[in-house]
């Protein structure tokens, strides 16, 4: 089993715990470990029940992103879930934190689902241009009904414990002290016949609901006519109403690979990885302690920064950040954040305007421009802004956002103009990563997300 799946025994209950930090992703070692742990638990005559748990803050957050785009390695997830579902011993999923994507599909393969109140459950694969490929479109509607499953899967919705319980996705909500305590209580109830176990795949097919699917289809055609995977999801869900589970799973898998082959999948996954990297400044890994921020200009976040927890000077041993706000003499002056790492005796006038902070209209994003190549300080300042709830894009020398906007003025083909501007901005060194331009254009300039971004598209066509 290696280090990512741990099998312990608690009386006559086997505790199978996934330990693959930070989010217990379903890597090949986890999948193989689950099979091995099941084999051992089923072969032990003293074990009467199996409980599946996730170590740390989550149950399973989904697939391992390191395996995206690579050939699948055995055992594949659908086979692991089938083993769980077909186990001769009861398998209980104890859910906390998140159970998303493949994580929820694993839970669907168990015979009983208990969730803590903090749980978020969903199948968000549509956001990556995919559909659930390990039984999500076939098992979820057997529990919730077709309309609810279609709403959740085509929109990638994550639901809380109360909603999941009301819709039949989970069997109960617990406030126990630990997953181990839940396993003990569930085993005791099962022995006293006070527990209704279900193999999801053996439940009846969901009732057909053509009006519900048609309403979702019409909404998709209105809002996302160019997307590919949502319409394949509807096909898979419709099949769940008539096909036996094995055939439905095969049909779902075929559609999954069609989505995998779609250019949209590549574009959406490019955006996914780009969004993950956006908050990191290359070269800014060294920790810098900000002692003093001098904020000049007019900005709606200045007050928030002045009262930021890091800025509270609670004691002489932990002084925090000293924040000074100076209004601009000229109302048209661009908003600047002047940052200098200084000691307490340095005069406030001894500063330089090293960074410009821009609010991007009609979005929750900020752009932080470094004018003097200080990546460590830029990263430290971005960390302060991000903990205040802001999404921050780092750039260099001058504004990426203004550069991209300028390309749209009087452009006959705005999309092509944006792609050309993205190439020029990257070549001019205004960004740390070309993918930063893609995120900025998608999030603030309505560039189609499924195309990956203007720089991504421009390089594809070269």
**Catalytic residue IDs:** 105, 125
Rounded Cα distance between 428 and 422, Å, is 10
- Name every residue whose Cβ is closer than 8 Å to that of residue 193 and which is 6 or more positions away in sequence: none
Residues 13, 19, 24, 28, CA torsion sign: negative
Letter string b/e over residues 365-401, b meaning 16 or more CB atoms within 10 A of that residue's CB: bbbbbbeeebbebbbbbbbbbeebebbbbbbbeebbb
Rounded Cα distance between 270 and 425, Å, is 19
Rounded Cα distance between 338 and 354, Å, is 6
**Is-contact 45 39, C-beta < 8 A?**
no
Rounded Cα distance between 40 and 178, Å, is 24
* 53 phi/psi in degrees, rounded to 5: -130, 165
**Is-contact 264 126, C-beta < 8 A?**
no
User: Is the previous residue joined to 22 through a cis bond, with omega within 30 degrees of 0?
Assistant: yes
Instruction: Locate all alpha helices (DSSP H) within 160-262, ordered by sequence.
Output: 161-166, 179-191, 210-223, 229-240, 245-260
* 294 phi/psi in degrees, rounded to 5: -110, 115
The 3-state DSSP class for residue 435 equals helix
DSSP 264: H
């Amino acid at each position: 089993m290696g280090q990512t799946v741990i099998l312990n025994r608690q009386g006559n209950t086997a505790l199978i715990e996934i330990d693959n930090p930070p989010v217990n992703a379903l890597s090949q070692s986890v999948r193989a470990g689950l099979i091995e742990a099941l084999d051992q638990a089923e072969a032990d005559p003293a074990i009467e029940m199996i409980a599946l748990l996730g170590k740390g803050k989550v149950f399973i957050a989904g697939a391992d992103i390191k395996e995206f785009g690579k050939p699948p390695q055995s055992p594949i997830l659908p086979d692991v879930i089938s083993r769980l579902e077909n186990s001769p011993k009861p398998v209980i999923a104890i859910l906390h934190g998140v159970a998303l994507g493949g994580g929820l599909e694993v839970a669907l393969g168990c015979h009983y689902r208990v969730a803590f109140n903090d749980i978020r459950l969903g199948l968000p694969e549509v956001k990556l241009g995919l559909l659930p490929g390990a039984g999500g479109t076939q098992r979820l509607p057997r529990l919730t009904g077709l309309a609810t499953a279609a709403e959740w899967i085509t929109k990638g919705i994550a639901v809380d414990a109360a909603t999941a319980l009301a819709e039949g996705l989970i069997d109960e909500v617990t406030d126990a002290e630990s997953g181990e305590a839940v396993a003990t209580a569930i085993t005791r109830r099962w022995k006293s016949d006070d527990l209704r176990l279900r193999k999801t795949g053996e439940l009846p097919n969901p009732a057909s609901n053509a009006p519900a699917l048609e309403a979702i289809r019409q909404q998709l055609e209105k809002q996302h006519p160019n997307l590919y995977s949502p319409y394949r999801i509807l096909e898979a869900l419709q099949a769940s109403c008539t096909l036996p589970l094995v055939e439905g799973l095969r049909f779902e898998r075929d559609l999954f690979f069609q989505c995998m082959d779609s250019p949209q999948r590549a574009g959406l996954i490019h955006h996914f990885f780009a969004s993950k990297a956006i908050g990191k400044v290359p070269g800014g890994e060294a920790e810098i302690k900000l002692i003093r921020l001098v904020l000049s200009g007019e900005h709606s976040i200045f007050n928030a920064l002045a009262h930021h927890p890091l800025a509270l000077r609670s004691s002489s041993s932990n002084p925090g950040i000293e924040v000074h706000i100076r209004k601009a003499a000229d109302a048209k002056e661009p908003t600047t954040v002047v940052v200098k790492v200084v000691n307490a005796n340095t005069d406030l006038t001894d500063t330089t305007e090293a960074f410009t902070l821009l609010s991007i209209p009609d979005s929750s994003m900020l752009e932080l421009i470094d004018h003097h190549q200080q990546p460590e300080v830029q990263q430290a300042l971005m960390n302060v802004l991000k903990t205040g709830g802001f999404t921050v894009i780092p750039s260099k020398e001058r504004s990426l956002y203004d550069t991209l906007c300028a390309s749209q003025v009087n452009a006959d083909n705005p999309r092509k103009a944006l792609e050309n501007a993205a190439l020029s901005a990257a070549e001019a060194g205004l960004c740390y990563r070309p993918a930063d331009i893609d995120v900025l254009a998608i999030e603030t300039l309505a560039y189609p997300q499924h195309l990956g971004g203007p720089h991504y598209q421009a390089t594809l066509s070269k």
